[in-house]
Structure 1
Amino acid sequence: MRVSHSFSADFDDPNLVSTAGLLPVLGLAEETGLHQLIAERVTVPGPAGANAAAKIPALVAGMVAGADSITDMGLLRHGGMGRLFTGVRAPTTLGTHLRAYTFGHVRQLDAVASRFLADLTGRVPGLVAGADQVAYLDVDDTIRETHGYAKQGTGYGYSGVRGLNAQLATMSTPTAAPVILGTRLRRGSAASAHGAPKMITESLATAKKAGATGTITVRADSAYYNHGAVAAARAAGARFSLTARMDPAVVAAISRIPADAWTAIQYPNAIFDEQEGRWISDAEVAEIPYTAFTSRRKAEHVSARLIVRRVRRLNVHQARAGQDELLAAYRHHAVFTDSPLSMLEAEASHRDHAIVEQVIADLKAGPLAHLPSGVFTANAAWLVCAAMAFNLTRAAGVIASNRHGRARAATIRTQLIQVPARVANHARKWRLHLPTAWPWQSAWENLFDHAHGTATAIA
C-alpha cells in the first residue's frame, strides 16, 4: 500500500465523529438504567460532586472509546459529538469530580456497578450464557505500576514494582467470556489475599443477581489458599478450587500417593510452565483425600480433594531448592477442591482460572494503562468505572455477533466503537453516514438496531 496523491489537511468539519459506536453503546447503557442508578445511589457533596449521573457515564463512555487518562476524555468533545450526546463534560470537570470521592462514595459506585451488571444481563442474557448451569468466579490481583511519589497509597508489593494493587473478581461460563463482578483498589504493599473473603462474598451475591443460579466454583491461585476464602465460598453455597501451596503437609500428602495412581495426560495444545521455563505437552495427574487448615480449631478443618499434576523436571539440581529429595525429579502442582467433576475434568477446569489474566490484560491495555490521579479514592472510583466500561463493551460485543461476543475488548473497540461517521440532518431526522465497505458493518448494525429498540434481546 502506498500514498496515492499529495494531500493537505484541515481540522474544519464540525459534523464528523471518530467514535460512532458510542451512540448505540451509550443507548444500551441508558436503556439498562445506568444514569438512574447513579442518580439514586451516588451522593457526592459539594459543587464538584454535583450531577454524578452525567459525569460518571461520561467517564465510562470515554473508557469504552479508549481513553486511559483524564486528559483523554477530551475525545468526547470533538466534531459532531455535541449533536450525538448531551451532558458532555470537560476533562478537568471529570477529574475534579473524581477527586471529591471518599471511600464511602467509592462503595456507592460499587453498588451501582453490581446492579448495572445485573441489569445488563437482563437486557442481554447472552452476556452470561450458561450461568444457570455452571459458572466460575475467578479472583486475582495485579500491581499497576506508578511513577513518582505523589500518588497516595503506592508501595512495593509482591512483584517488587512500586504501584497500587487492584483486586478483581470475574465470572465466566464454558460458553461466555468473562465479565467483572467486583473490584477493589488497595495499597501497593497489600497482600494478595487481603480482603478476599469479603470480595468473594460480595461477588457471589452479584453473580447470583446476574443470573448465575447453577453451580458456581470459586477459583484462585495459591495466594488465596486460606481458610477465609474457602469459608466465604462455602457460606454462599459455592464450590472452591484453589492452588495449594507446597507446604510440608501438602508435600507429605503427595508422597503418600501410590505409584500406580498416576494417570498420564496429553494436552491438545502445549501449555507454558513458568517455573520450568518451557512448554509442556504431557503430564501425570493423581488425587488423594486431604484435610486442610489443620492448625486451626477442629471445626474449621476442611476436607476435600487434593488433585496433583506432576511434570518431570529437566533440571533436577535447580528443583531441589523447594521440595524434598523424594519429589525432586518432578515439579508438582496441587489443587485443593471440592469440585464434583472427575479428576481430569476438575484439573482442566482449574487451569482455566488463567482467563482472569486476560481480563487484567484488557484493562491494562485500556482504562488501567494509567491510574490518573494522585488521590487514592479518585483512582479507586476510576477502577470501578473501568469495570463498568468493560462489562458494557462485553455486552455490546455479545449483541453484535457471536465472534465479537468472545473477542478482546481492544478488538471490539477497534471494530465497533472507533468507527468514523458524518452526522447529517435530513427531513428533520438525524442520520449517521459511515464508511462504505466497513468490514464489520453487519455486526455494527446489529448493535445499533438492538440499542434503538428495533431488535429483541440477544439470547
Structure 2
Amino acid sequence: MRVSHSFSADFDDPNLVSTAGLLPVMGLAEEAGLHELVADRLTVPGPAGSNAPVKISALVAGMVAGADSIADMGLLRHGGMRRSFSGVRAPTTLGTHLRAYTFGHVRQLDAVASRLLAGLTDRVPGLLAGAEAVAYLDVDDTIRQTHGYAKQGTGYGYSGVRGLNAQLATLSTPSAAPVIVGTRLRRGSAASAHGAPRLVAEALATSRKAGATGTVTVRADSAYYNRDVVAAALAGGARFSITARMDPAVTAAISRIPEDAWTGIRYPEAIFDEEQGRWISDAEVAEIPYTAFTSRRKTEHVSARLIVRRVRRLNPATARAGQNELLVAYRHHAVFTDSPLSTLEAEASHRDHAIVEQVIADLKNGPLAHLPSGVFTANAAWLVCAAMAFNLTRTAGVIASNRHGRARTATIRTQLIQVPARIANHARKWRLHLPTAWPWRSAWENLFRHAHESATAIA
C-alpha cells in the first residue's frame, strides 16, 4: 500500500466523530440503568460530587472508547460528540470528581457496578450463557506499576515492582467469555490473599444476581490457598478448586499415592510449565483424599480431593534437598478441590483458571494502563469504572456477533467502537454516515439495531 496523492489537512469538521460505536454502547448502559443506579447509590458531597451520573457515565464511556488516563477523557469532546451526547465533561472536572471519593464512596460505586452487571445480563442473556447450569469464578491479582513517590499506597509487592495491587474476580461459563464481578484496589505491598474472603463472598452474591444460579466453582492459584478463602466459597454455596502449596502435609499426601494410580494424559495443546521454563505436552494425573488446614481447630478442617499432576524433571538436581526418590524424579502440581468432576476433567477445569489473566491483560491494554491519580481512593474508583467499561464492551461484543462475543476488548474497540462517522440532520432526523465497505458492518449494525430497538421500547 502506498500514498496515492499529496494531501493537506485541516481539523475543521464539527460533524465528525471517531467513536460512533459509543452511541449504541452508552445506550445499552442507560438501558441497564447506569444513570439511575449512580443517582440512587452514590453520595459524593460538595460541588465535585454534583451530577455524579453524568460524570461516571462519561468516565465509563471514555474507557470504552480507549482512554487510559484522565487527560485522555478529552476524546469525548471532539467534533460532533456534543451533538451525540449531552452532559460531556472536561477531563479536569472528571479528575476533580474522582479525587473527592472516600473509601465509602468507592464501595457505593462497587454496588453500582454489581447492579449494572445484573441489568446487562437481564437484557442480554447470552452474556453469561449457561450460567444457570455451570459457572466459574476466578480470583487473581496483579501489580500495576507506578512511577515516582506521589501516589498514595504504593509499595513493593510480590513481583518486586513498585505499584498498587489490583484484585479481580471474574465470572465465566464454558460457552461465555468472562465478565468482572468484583474488584478491589489494595496497597502495593498487600499479600495476594489479603481481603480475598470478602471479595469472594461479594463476587458470589453478584454472580447470583447476574444469573449464575447453577453450580459455581471458585478457582484460584496457590496464593489463595487458605482456610478463609475456602470457607467463603462454601458459605456462598460454591465449590472450590485452588492450587495447593507444596507444604510438608501436601508433599506427604502425594508420596502416599500408589504408583499404579497415575494416569497418563497428553494435552491437545502444550501448556507452559513455569518452574521448568518449558512447554509440556504430556503428564500423569492422580488423586488422593486429603484433609487441609489441620493446624486449625477440628471444626475448621476441610476434607476434599487432592488432584495431582506430575511431570518428569529434566534435571533431578533441581529438586529440594531431602525429598524421596519419587519427588526427585517428578515435579508435582496439586489442586485442592471438592469438584464432582472426574480426575482428568477436574484437572483440566482448574487449568482454565488462567482465563482471568486474559482479563487482566485486557485491562492493562486499556483503562488500567495507568492508575492516573495521586489519590488512592480516586484510583480505586477508576478501577471500578474500568470494570464497568469492560463489562459493557463485552456485552456489546455478545450482541454484535458470536466472534465478537469472545474477542478481546481491544478487538471490539477497534472494530465496533472506534468507527468514524459523520453526523447529519435531515428532515429533523439525526443520521450517522459511516465508511463504505466497513469489514465489520454487519456486527456493528446488530449492535446499533439492538440499542435503537431498546430505546424505542423504553420510549
Using the size of structure 2 for normalisation, the TM-score is 0.98
How far the C-alpha of 1:454 sits from its partner, in A, is 6.3
How far the C-alpha of 1:237 sits from its partner, in A, is 1.0
How far the C-alpha of 1:9 sits from its partner, in A, is 0.5
Q: Are residue 429 (structure 1) and residue 429 (structure 2) matched?
A: yes
RMSD of aligned alpha carbons? 1.2
Q: Secondary structure at the match of 1:437?
A: coil
* Paired residue type of 1:130: G
Tell me the equivalent position of 1:85: 85
Tell me the equivalent position of 1:407: 407
Residue pairs, 1:103-142, within 5 angstroms: 103-142=103-142
Tell me the equivalent position of 1:171: 171
1: CA distance, partners of 2:183 / 2:233? 17
How far the C-alpha of 1:324 sits from its partner, in A, is 4.9
2: CA distance, partners of 1:138 / 1:121? 18
1: CA distance, partners of 2:29 / 2:257? 53
Residue pairs, 1:41-440, within 5 angstroms: 41-320=41-320, 324-440=324-440
Change in 2 beyond 3 A, CA 1:456/1:253: farther
Check conservation: 2:31, 2:454, Cα contact below 8 A: no
Tell me the equivalent position of 1:35: 35
2: CA distance, partners of 1:135 / 1:234? 15
Q: Secondary structure at the match of 1:328?
A: helix
Tell me the equivalent position of 2:20: 20
2: CA distance, partners of 1:23 / 1:202? 31
Deviations 1:32-82 (A, max 9, x none): 110000000001000011110100000000000000000000000000001
How far the C-alpha of 1:316 sits from its partner, in A, is 1.4
2: CA distance, partners of 1:158 / 1:119? 36
Check conservation: 2:154, 2:188, Cα contact below 8 A: yes
Range with greater deviation from structure 2 (271-280 or 242-251): 271-280
Deviations 1:188-246 (A, max 9, x none): 00000001110000000000000000000000000000000110011111000000000
How far the C-alpha of 1:318 sits from its partner, in A, is 2.0
2: CA distance, partners of 1:390 / 1:345? 30
Range with greater deviation from structure 2 (317-326 or 439-448): 317-326
Give ranges in structure 1 of 5+ residues lacking alignment.
Answer: none
Tell me the equivalent position of 1:442: 442
1: CA distance, partners of 2:37 / 2:332? 48
How far the C-alpha of 1:274 sits from its partner, in A, is 1.0
2: CA distance, partners of 1:84 / 1:455? 15
Change in 2 beyond 3 A, CA 1:455/1:82: closer
2: CA distance, partners of 1:368 / 1:199? 19
* Paired residue type of 1:55: K
How far the C-alpha of 1:326 sits from its partner, in A, is 3.8
How far the C-alpha of 1:323 sits from its partner, in A, is 5.1
How far the C-alpha of 1:309 sits from its partner, in A, is 0.1
Check conservation: 1:15, 1:422, Cα contact below 8 A: yes
Give ranges in structure 2 of 5+ residues lacking alignment.
Answer: none
Using the size of structure 1 for normalisation, the TM-score is 0.98
1: CA distance, partners of 2:270 / 2:204? 32
1: CA distance, partners of 2:455 / 2:340? 40
Deviations 1:238-287 (A, max 9, x none): 00000000000000000000000000000000111111111100000000
Deviations 1:100-121 (A, max 9, x none): 0000000000000000000100
Check conservation: 1:450, 1:456, Cα contact below 8 A: no
Deviations 1:314-343 (A, max 9, x none): 121123369555401111000000000000
* Paired residue type of 1:360: I
Q: Secondary structure at the match of 2:453?
A: coil
1: CA distance, partners of 2:227 / 2:92? 45
Range with greater deviation from structure 2 (318-327 or 333-342): 318-327
